[in-house]
Amino acid sequence: MPVVELSYSRLQKLIGKVSKKQITESLPFLGLDIESDNEDLVRVEYSPNRPDYCTDFGIALGLQGLFGIKTGAIKLNIKKTNDYIIRVEPSVTKIRPFVTGIIAKNGRIDDDIIKQLMALQEDLHLGIGRKRKKSSIGIHDLDKMSFPLTYTTTKRTHKFTPLNLEKELTISEILENTDVGRNYGKILGNSDIVPLILDSKKQTISFPPIINSAITTVTTNTRNLFVEVTGISKDDAENMLSVVATILQTAGFVLVSAKILGVKNTSPKFELKKISINSNLINEILGSNLSNSQIILSLKKSRLDAVLKGKNIICSIPSYRFDIFGLMDLVEEVALGYGIQNFEPILSPSQTLGQSNTTSIKIKSLSLIMIGLGYTEALNSSLTSKRVLYDMTNRQSTDMISVLDSKSQEHTILRDSILPELLENLSRNIHASYPQKLFETGIVFSKGNPINEITNFAGISSHQDASFTEIKSILQSTLKIGFNLEIETKTSSHPTFEEGRTASILHHGKIIGIIGEINTKTIENYKIRVPVVGFEIYLSDLIID
Amino acid sequence: MSQVFHEIEKKIITALKNNPQQTPEKLEKSTNLSPDQIRRGIEWLKLKELAIVIESQSITISLGKNGLDSFYNGLPERRLLNLLKNESKKFKVLQNELGSIFGPAMGIARKNNWIDTSEDEIFLKNYPSEIPGEKTLKQIGENKILKNIIDKNDLFAIFKRPDFILENIIKNKEISLTEIAKSIEITTESTNAINVESKVPDVFVARTHPLKDTIDEIREIFVTLGFTEIIGSMTQPSFWNFDALFTPQDHPARELQDTFYLDGFSTKKIGTLDQIKKISESHKKNWRYSWNIDEAKKTVLRTHTTCVTIKHLAENKLDEARVFSLGRVFRNEKVSYKHLVEFNQIEGIVVGKNANLRNLMGIQREFYKRIGITKIKFWPTFFPYTEPSLQTMVYNDKLGKWIELFGMGVFRQEVTKPLGITKPVLAWGGGIERIAMLKYGLDDVREFYNNNLNWLRNTTKCQ
C-alpha cells in the first residue's frame, strides 16, 4: 500500500481547530494506517482506491468531515469562460481519443505542493490510469502557453525539448533513450503517429501519455496552472481530472473551465452521481438501528451529500469519489461517518452446526499414528525447485509444472512428490542427533486440465540400522491400525531408491506408492552419512475421496 | 534418606576426609584407584558440588646444554677475557683455543667495549668484575629455582641465547571437599539404590508440526463457532481468483510480479456460461475495459482462499451458512524474515440471519478471545471485493504495539449479484503464520518451513 508523509502543523492549518492527538486518533478511522509518528511528521498508508488521500489537502477534507467541522460534498466552483479552448483533431480517435482539462489560477506553489502534486499524479497514473494506459495527466504553467490548444497527432520524427532535459529530442529518441519513454512507450504500440498537444504558437505542450514539454515546467514561481488528462476512456479521464481539480481548489486555487471541442469530446461537467438507498439495507448490513437523520449526518461526515426523499435517502457523490460504485459503498460511507468505533460487536448464536472436513480429520488421525511411532511432522513448500525435486533425486523432470517469473530461485516448480523435500530436510539436519524420522502429508500436483491435485503421505527414517523391513513395518501398521487397509509390496525400481531394495506398494492390486532404501547416489548428492529408508503413497482414492 | 554414592566416590571422599587436600596422584595411592577412575570420580563429585578442584600452574627453569657448559667453564665471553687477561693474543690462537664459542664471545665482548682489535690481534680494554647472566647462571646451576624469584634483567641476558635456559610448565591439581561433603557419612554397606537425583539425557519427543498445531487449533475454534470446513484447489483459473472477486483484468495485483501464473496452463472449463457472461458484464460496466476470457482462463496459484469460498457459494446458493476454508496461498514475493511465497490462510463466510457487520466483529472478537487475545479493535480498510471492509488490530504485549491481523467485510454486490447470490455475505480471513509467530515468539517466519530438528524437538508444544 502506498504511503504519504503528513505534517501535523500543516494539517492543523487546513482542518481548523483540532489537537495533534485528535488527528492521530482519527486517521485510522478514515482507513489510514499510521506507519510511523515522529513529532510533527506522521506517515500513513492509504488505500489505492482513494488517490485524494495521497495529499494532505484530501486527508484534511476527510478529517474535517469526521470532526464535524465541515460536512457534506465538496462543490467545485468553476468559473465559466470561453478563454481556454482545446480543439481535438480526428486523427487522435484511433490512438488516444479523449482529452479534458481545467485551469487553476492564483495559487501559491511551494516545494511541498509541487511534491504532493507529483505524488498525486503518480498515484493516479498507477491506479485509475492503469500505468497511464487508460488515462494520464499533465500539469503545466498556464502562463507559458497560449490558447487555443490543439490535441492532435504527429510523426515520430517530431522534435521538442522534453521536461527535465535541455535539448530537443525526436519522439523516437524520447521513446528509446529516456526512462519514461522505455516504460510507457509500449502503450502507443507500433503506430506511426503519436498524440501531441500544441498551443496556438505551435509549441509542443505535451506528448501524452509519455512526457510534458520543458517550456511549461511548474516551479515555485508558477501562479496559474493548466491541467490536462488524455485517455482511452472519457469517464476515467474526467474522473482523474476531478481528483486534481478538487485538490487544487482545496489548496486555494480558483478553478476556471476549459472548453473541449471535437470528435466525441465534450467539456468536463464534474456531475454529481446520485444513488438512492434505503435505511433498511444500511441497518441490515451494519446490524444497527440508525435513523434516517443519523444516516444523512453520517454520509455528510463522509463528505457526501444526502437528502431524504420519501422513504429513501438520495445520496450525491462528487465525481472525484469514483471508488463509489453502488449501494454497499454507501453502507461503508455511513459506517465510517458514524465511526467504526461506535459499533459494538455482538455474538448471535450460530444457526448452523460446524464440522471439520473429513480429509482434515483423516489426515489428523494419520499424523497421530505417525507421532506414536516416533515420527516428527515436517512441513515443506508446495512450490519448490528443480534441484530438490529432480536433480538431487535423479528423477525425470519432463512433466514438471513451473511458474512464470518467480522472484525466488528456490520456489519455481510445483511438487509432484513429497519425498525429495524430506530428503532435503535430512540433509540440512546432519548435525542433529539420530535416529531422524520425519513424515509429511500434503498436496502434490500433476499435469491435467485442470491440474490434478492429490494428497500424498510420505515418511522417512534415517539411522545406522535403517532397513527396508523397518519402513515397511511402519507403513503396514499405520494403514492397518488407522484405516484397516492391507498392503502388499512388489519388486520394483525407482531412480531414488536402491535397486533390489525397492518395491511398489499395492492395495487390492492397485499401485498406491513406492517404498524402499534410498540409493547411495541420492544419499551422496545430499551428503547424508547415514542410511535412509522411506515411502510415499497417494491418500486420494485410498482414504480420502 | 542419605545420598547414594558410587564406590569410587566413596573411596575418594573417605581419602579426602583423612587427608583434606590431595593431588590426583596422591589420591591414586591413598585409594588404590586407577588414574581414570580418579578422574571420573572427581568429575562426578564436582558436578554434585561436593569436591573443589583448585588448578594452578608453576614454571621451573633449568640449564640447557650451552647453559651447563657455561656454568662449569664460564660464559664464552668470560673465557675469552680470561685468556686476554695477561697479554694480547692473535685471532687464530684464540679461535683454536675457544672453538665454536669464539664467535659469540667476540661479539659480546666487542659490543660491551671490553676488547679492542688490530689487524690480527686482540687486546683487553676492560675486565668486568661481573658479566650479565653470570649471577643467574650460578643460581640455576646450583639449584632448580622458581622463575619468579630471579633477577629478571640478569636472566634476560642469557634467556635468548641458544640452549642456555629450559622452561618447564607444571600443572598442579589439588582436590578438597566442600563443607557439605565433609559432613557426609560414608557407609560401606553395599546397596541397590541408584542416584535418583542425577541428571539424565534428553529424549526427543516425536510431535506434530508447531504450525500444524496452530492450524488445528484455529480449525477447532471455528468448528465450535458453527463453521463447516471446505477444501478447494490451490491451482485456480484467474476467473475465480480474480474476475469473480471484482478484480479487473488490468489491475496491478494480477501482474506476474505479484501472482504466480503456471507456465502454459490455460484452464478449459472455468465456470458456467451464465457465470462467465454475468461476471464479464459486471467488469465491462463498472471498470470500463474489454474483458478477455483468455485472461480469465490463465491458471494461477491462488493468492487467497476467498476463491474457494466464493465458488462454493456460487455453486450452492446457500440461505443460511457458515463455511470456512483453510490452506496454502501464494504470492510472488522475495522470501524474507517476514514474507514467504507460500503461507496458510483461513477464510470464512457467513450467510443468513444476523449476517451483519456487528456480528462479523463479534465472531472475530470471540475467535481472538479463544486464542488468548483480548485487546482488540477494528479499523476501516480496503479490499477490492468487500464493502464495508475492516481489519482487526490486536495488541501484542511482547512487542508493545498494535498488529494487523484478520481482514473482513461484506461481499460487494458487484461480486455476489453476477453469481446469483442474493443474500448479504460476510467474509473474513487472514494469514495463520502471523498468529503462530506471536504464539511461538518467532521473529523469522521462515523457521516454520526450515524443518530444523533442533527447533522442532525443543519447541514447547502448548504456549
pLDDT tens digit string along A163-187? 999 999 999 999 999 999 999 999 9
Q: Note whether residue A192 is domain-resident.
A: yes
Integer-rounded Cα Rg, in Å, for chain B is 45
Task: Enumerate helices (H) and strands (E) in chain A, giving the number of each.
Answer: 15, 29
CB A376 within 8 A of CB A429: no
Domain match, A458 and A363 both? yes
- Residue B238 or residue A17, greater confidence: B238
A243: amino acid identity, one letter: V
Stretch A94-119: mean pLDDT: 93
Assign residue A39 the CATH number of its domain: 3.30.56.10
Q: Give the Cα-Cα-Cα angle B370, B375, B376 (nearest 5 degrees).
A: 90
On whether residue A40 sits in a domain, the answer given is: yes
Q: Which of A383, A433, A453 sits opposite B341 (nearest CB)?
A: A383
Q: Same structural domain for residues A397 and A481?
A: yes
Phi, psi of A306 (to 5 degrees): -150, 140
Q: In the prediction, which pLDDT does B427 show?
A: 96
Q: Is A236 a member of any domain?
A: yes
Which chain A residues contact residue B234 at CB under 8 A? 382, 443, 445, 453
- The three cell numbers of residue B117 are 682489535
Residues 441-480 of A with CB under 8 A from B: 443, 445, 449-451, 453
The domain of A122 spans 78-262
Answer whether B186's CB lies under 8 Å from B14's CB.
yes
CB contact under 8 A, B362 and A378: no
- Measured in angstroms, the CA of A1 and the nearest CA of chain B are apart by 10
DSSP secondary structure of A438-497: EEEEEEEEE-SSSPEEEEEEEEEEESTT--HHHHHHHHHHHHHHHH----EEEE---TTE
Q: Which class is domain B63-168?
A: mainly alpha
- Same domain, yes or no: A113 and A209: yes
Compute the mean pLDDT over every residue in chain B, rounded to the nearest whole number: 89
Whether B3 shows a pLDDT value over 80: the answer reads: no
The whole-number pLDDT of residue A32 equals 93
Question: Hey, are the CB atoms on A47 and B382 less than 8 Å from each other?
Answer: yes
Query: Which pLDDT tens digit goes with each residue over B12-52?
Result: 988 888 888 888 888 899 888 899 989 998 988 888 888 98
pLDDT at residue A11 is higher than 90: yes
Going by pLDDT thresholds of 50, 70 and 90, the confidence category of residue B1 is very low
In chain A, whose CA is at the least distance from the CA of B289?
A: A233
Identify which of B231, B286, B393 has the shortest CB distance to residue A359: B231
Burial (Cβ within 10 Å: 0-12, 13-18, ≥19) of residue B36: exposed
Q: Which of A262, A281, A297 is the last residue of a domain?
A: A262
Q: Is A301 on the interface with B (CB under 8 A)?
A: no
Residue where a domain terminates, one of A284, A308, A338: A338
Complex-level ipTM: 0.90
The yes-or-no verdict on residue B463 having pLDDT over 60 is no
Report chain B residues whose CB lies below 8 A from the CB of A359: 231
Distance CA B368, CA B347 (A): 15
Which of the four pLDDT bands, split at 50, 70 and 90, describes residue A302?
Answer: very high
Mutate to test the interface with A, among B229, B285, B387, B456 (most CBs of A within 10 A): B387
Report whether pLDDT(A76) > 90: yes
Contact A156, A194 (CB under 8 A): yes
- The band of B73, judged by pLDDT with boundaries at 50, 70 and 90, is confident
Q: Are residues A148 and A240 in the same domain?
A: yes
Q: What is the pLDDT of residues B153-173, one digit of tens each?
A: 777 878 888 888 888 888 888
Which candidate from A326, A347, A404 shows the least CB-CB separation from B362?
A347
Answer yes or no: do A454 and A520 share one domain. Answer: yes
Q: Percentage of chain B with pLDDT > 70?
A: 97
Question: With contact defined as beta carbons under 8 Å apart, do A251 and A327 qualify?
Answer: no
Return the pLDDT at B189. Answer: 66
Q: What are phi and psi of A292, to 5 degrees?
A: -55, -40
**Percent of chain A scored above 70 by pLDDT?**
100
B contacts of A378 (beta carbons < 8 Å): 209, 451
Residue A519 and residue A380 share a domain: yes
Q: Provide the pLDDT for residue B146.
A: 58
Query: Quick check: helix, strand or coil at residue B298?
Result: strand
| Cβ-defined contact of A414 to B262 (cutoff 8 Å) | yes
> Residue A351: inside a domain, yes or no?
no
Instruction: State how beta strands A376-377 and A436-446 pair.
Output: parallel
CATH code for position A187 = 3.50.40.10
Same domain, A412 and A293: no
B232-244 per-residue burial string, b: 16 or more CB within 10 A, e: under 16: bbbbbbbbbbbbb
Quick one: pLDDT at residue B397?
A: 86
Query: A166 and A122 in one domain?
Result: yes
In a domain, A350, yes or no: no
> Global pTM?
0.79
Q: Is residue A349 one of the residues assigned to a domain?
A: no
Nearest to A285 among B286, B332, B410 (CB): B410
Instruction: Please give, rounded to a whole number of angstroms, the shortest distance from the CA of B144 to a CA of chain A.
Output: 51
**pLDDT for residue A101 is more than 90:** yes
Look at chain A and report how many structural domains it folds into: 4
Residues ≥6 apart with Cβ < 8 Å to B343: B328, B329, B331, B431, B432, B433, B445
Mutating which of A239, A359, A404, A452 best tests the B interface, going by the most B Cβ atoms within 10 A?
A: A404
CATH code of B210-234+302-458, in short, is: 3.30.930.10
Nearest Cα neighbor of B66 from B56, B58, B76 is B76
Q: pLDDT (tens digit, 9 = 90+) per residue, B206-231?
A: 999 999 999 999 999 999 999 999 99
**How close does chain B come to A404, measured CA to CA in Å?**
6
In single-letter form, the type of residue at position B233 comes to: S
Residues A254 and A304 grouped into a single domain: no
Neighbours of A111 (CB within 10 A): 9
Q: How far is B462 from chain A (nearest CA, A)?
A: 16
Contact call for residues B428 and B364 (beta carbons, < 8 A): yes
What is the C-alpha separation between A323 and A151, in angstroms, rounded?
29
- Give the Cα separation of A382 and A443 in Å (integer): 7
Q: According to CATH, where is 1.10.10 located in chain B? A: 63-168
Q: How far is B141 from chain A (nearest CA, A)?
A: 56
Residue A348 in domain: no
Q: Where are the beta strands (DSSP E) in A19-114?
A: 33-38, 41-45, 78-79, 85-88, 98-105
The rounded distance, in Å, linking the Cα atoms of B326 and A364 is: 14
Say if residue A257 is in the same domain as residue A114.
Answer: yes
A132 and A279 together in one domain: no
Q: Mean pLDDT across the stretch B304-326? A: 93
Do A251 and A131 share a domain, yes or no? yes
Choice between B67 and A420, residue whose per-residue pLDDT is larger: A420
Spatial CA neighbour of B48 closest among B155, B203, B222, B178: B178
Does residue A344 fall inside a structural domain? Answer: no
The conformational region for residue A164 under phi > 0 = left, psi -120 to 50 = alpha, else beta, is left
**pLDDT at A374 > cutoff 90:** yes
Q: CB contacts < 8 Å between A and B, how many? A: 266
